[in-house]
Amino acid sequence: MRYNLAGAETEDVFLKKTVMLFVICASLALIVPTLSGCGGAVKPAAASSPTAPETAPSLKSLSKQIVGASAMSEEEIAAAQEALRYATDANTGSLFKALSVNCVEGWARVSVQESGVPADEVVGFGVYMKKGDDGKWDVVETGTGLSTDDIPGAPPELFKD
């Protein structure tokens, strides 16, 4: 570095440092957005309501996810859709199929099973729900082999196959 007699940097050294600092900042301004993805803010996922979708799914698309959908009531289909949403959210990356739906006195049990995986890796369980005052299904418990002892207030018919 060059200094004058007073110990201060000379103008040409100061100018070189300023230009170098500007080049570093400009490079970072170009590189950082590239490394952080698209550079946009993360947008929250749109709220979805399986009981009142914006566009009703067709019976053909429902039958791929819900076994026997064509013979089910709207209440049973809504319960199956909520159970599938819950199972998928709880098991990120997995797809599920509703094998059976049992609705009794404002309660529902939906048997779900993972699809698209080898038979020895399939995950299956029951999703037990209660219909809320707003008409939406609320998940109360999940599991296999549950009974009225496990879910107080649930009708015994809910646990019958």
For the stretch 59-81, pLDDT in tens is 666 778 899 988 999 999 999 99
| Average pLDDT of the residues in 7-36 | 70
pLDDT score of 46: 46
Give domain 60-159's CATH architecture: Roll (3.10)
Residue 128 confidence (pLDDT): 97
Categorize the per-residue pLDDT at 7 as very low, low, confident or very high, splitting at 50, 70 and 90: low
Percentage, residues of the chain above pLDDT 70: 71
Q: Quick check: 2 pLDDT over 80? A: no
Q: In angstroms, rounded to a whole number, what is the distance separating the alpha carbons of residues 126 and 111?
A: 4
In this model, does residue 93 exceed pLDDT 90? no
pLDDT-based confidence at residue 21 (cuts at 50, 70, 90): confident
Determine the pLDDT at residue 4.
60
Angle at 136 between CA 63 and CA 143, to 5 degrees: 70
More confident residue, 35 or 128: 128
Could you give the C-alpha distances from 7 to 4, 10, 11, 14, in angstroms and in order? 5, 9, 12, 13
> What residue ranges do the domains of the chain occupy?
1-40, 60-159
Chain centroid offset of residue 142 CA: 17
In the predicted structure, residue 115 carries a pLDDT above the cut 70? yes
